[in-house]
Amino acid sequence: MPRTLNKLSQLKVTKTTKPGLYADGGGLYLQITAAGVKSWLFRYMRAGKARGMGLGPVHTIGLAEARTRALDCRRLLLDGVDPIDSRNAERTAQRVAQANEMTFKQCADKYIEAHRAGWKNAKHADQWTNTLATYAEPVFDSLPVSAIDTALVMKVLEPIWTTKTETASRVRGRIESVLDWATVRGYRAGENPARLKGHLDTLLPKRARVQKVTHHPALPYADLPGFIKLLRAEDGIAARALELLILTATRTNEVIGATWSEFRLDESIWIIPGERMKMRKEHRVPLSARAIALVKAQEDMKQGDFVFPGAKYQKPLSNMAMLQLLERMKRDDITVHGFRSTFRDWAGETTHYPREVCEAALAHGIKDKAEAAYARGDLFVKRATLMEDWAKFAEGD
């Protein structure tokens, strides 16, 4: 009578190389793929359907152990238990046990590390770490991430929601992101207790009602020509960088990070790549004649890639240099960023340029999604005229 079990020998397992399934009996098979990979497979019927369960690779699981594992599977089937379902349940239980050991801080650290490379500013990771360490972790303490609920999130947010609204809003968003990450990784389940819409917004007052709107102190546009004359009397790279910033209505990081490869002076264009823009979208800046002259003047002291180099080679001008310049000029009543407001006030109150042209000059996105869907161009030609008029106004013309 032929054997129904233990049909294979160790020699046959070792020597057989032809792709296929080789039965050992009792549902156990040696499986060899077209690539020559050998593994163990347990095949069985469940509710009229054929199922296959991998038992491990041959190089790790020997013949004897494979037979033991197959025997365990047959015993489960005898008890009315599906082996695959049983294994999945065990793995789920292991993940739950692991979740009970994963704290919010551990999840936050892993989330930050996973996203660090995608953040534009290297300081972003530090900001995440510091705000969560300051506000969230003292409340969540060493609790497992699966135990964090709405009451705990509220305990974090309520003390700062009306006094530090902007910070509280960022903390909430960061908690929500970390908890979403933990859910996807299987460390927690259910709704996110830090979700704002349809959840926390029913418990917390609206930001608009409690947050004080603060504007960057800006120079009145009528005072700009006089300021430009004083600025041109200042020595140093910071003064030249600040004037270019004013004439192009750009941001500090966009100016100090400008490289020679971004400028096409013969076409009067400065192209700032998307990775350096707040909106992560390429911004073409039309250059006035004075702006071109400022950039060309920097060629005389060209060193490295940056148009406005810092004290160290291949390092840009410090992001504090222009602010310190304003302090030396005894203009601590205004800020560098405020010159964008100066430009916007001038354009809105003294010119007839359409709002969308002025907003495009500031690289502001269109908030209305329907309008944005049809706005394919960047209004460059119209912006070029606008920026030339702005430069003439700054000259006092």
pLDDT tens-digit series, residues 333-386: 999 999 999 999 999 999 999 999 999 999 886 554 444 443 456 899 999 999
Percentage of the chain beyond pLDDT 70 is: 92
What is residue 153's predicted lDDT score, i.e. its pLDDT?
Answer: 95
Q: In the chain, how many H helices and how many E strands?
A: 18, 7
What is residue 272's predicted lDDT score, i.e. its pLDDT?
Answer: 95
What is residue 216's predicted lDDT score, i.e. its pLDDT?
Answer: 65
What is residue 4's predicted lDDT score, i.e. its pLDDT?
Answer: 82
- In sequence order, what are the residues at sequence separation of 6 or more whose Cβ sits closer than 8 angstroms to the Cβ of residue 104? 136, 137, 140, 143, 145, 148, 178
pLDDT tens-digit series, residues 175-220: 999 999 999 988 888 899 999 999 999 998 887 666 554 556 889 9
The mean of the pLDDT values for the chain is: 89
What is residue 65's predicted lDDT score, i.e. its pLDDT?
Answer: 95
Contacts 24+ apart (CB under 8 A), 20-27: 24/63, 24/66, 24/67, 24/70, 26/67, 26/70, 26/71, 26/74, 27/70, 27/73, 27/74
CA quadruple 99, 104, 108, 111: dihedral, nearest 10:
20
Look up residue 208 and give its two tokens. Answer: 């608009």
Say which residue, 378 or 23, is predicted with more confidence: 23
What is residue 117's predicted lDDT score, i.e. its pLDDT?
Answer: 81
* Residue 161 Cα distances to 104, 199, 211, angstroms: 21, 15, 9
pLDDT tens-digit series, residues 235-281: 999 999 999 999 999 999 999 999 999 999 999 999 999 988 887 88
What is residue 205's predicted lDDT score, i.e. its pLDDT?
Answer: 86
Model confidence at 389: pLDDT above 70: yes
pLDDT tens-digit series, residues 52-101: 999 999 999 999 999 999 999 999 999 999 999 999 888 877 776 665 67
Amino acid at position 165, single letter: T
Domains with residue ranges and CATH for the chain: 10-98 (3.30.160.390), 104-210 (1.10.150.130), 221-395 (1.10.443.10)
What is residue 217's predicted lDDT score, i.e. its pLDDT?
Answer: 82
What is residue 302's predicted lDDT score, i.e. its pLDDT?
Answer: 86
- In sequence order, what are the residues at sequence separation of 6 or more whose Cβ sits closer than 8 angstroms to the Cβ of residue 321? 237, 238, 241, 256
Q: 69-108 burial string, b = 16+ CB within 10 Å, else e?
A: bbeebeebbeeeebbbebeeeeeeeeeeeebeebbbbebb
Percentage of the chain beyond pLDDT 90 is: 71
Question: What count of residues does the chain have?
Answer: 397
Say which residue, 111 or 313, is predicted with more confidence: 111
Of 38-52, 96-110, 162-176, 304-318, give the lowest mean pLDDT range. Answer: 96-110
Q: Mean pLDDT over residues 319-341, rounded? A: 93
Which helix (DSSP H) or strand (DSSP E) does residue 54 occupy?
strand 49-57
What is residue 100's predicted lDDT score, i.e. its pLDDT?
Answer: 61
Model confidence at 43: pLDDT above 80: yes
d(CA 150, CA 301): 58
pLDDT band at 107 (very low <50, low <70, confident <90, very high): very high
Question: DSSP 3-state helix, strand, coil percentages of the chain (rounded to 5)?
Answer: 55, 10, 35
d(CA 79, CA 358): 75
Cβ-contact 360, 347 below 8 angstroms: no
What is residue 97's predicted lDDT score, i.e. its pLDDT?
Answer: 65
What is residue 141's predicted lDDT score, i.e. its pLDDT?
Answer: 84
What is residue 214's predicted lDDT score, i.e. its pLDDT?
Answer: 53
What is residue 98's predicted lDDT score, i.e. its pLDDT?
Answer: 62
User: In sequence order, what are the beta bridge partners of 259?
Assistant: 306
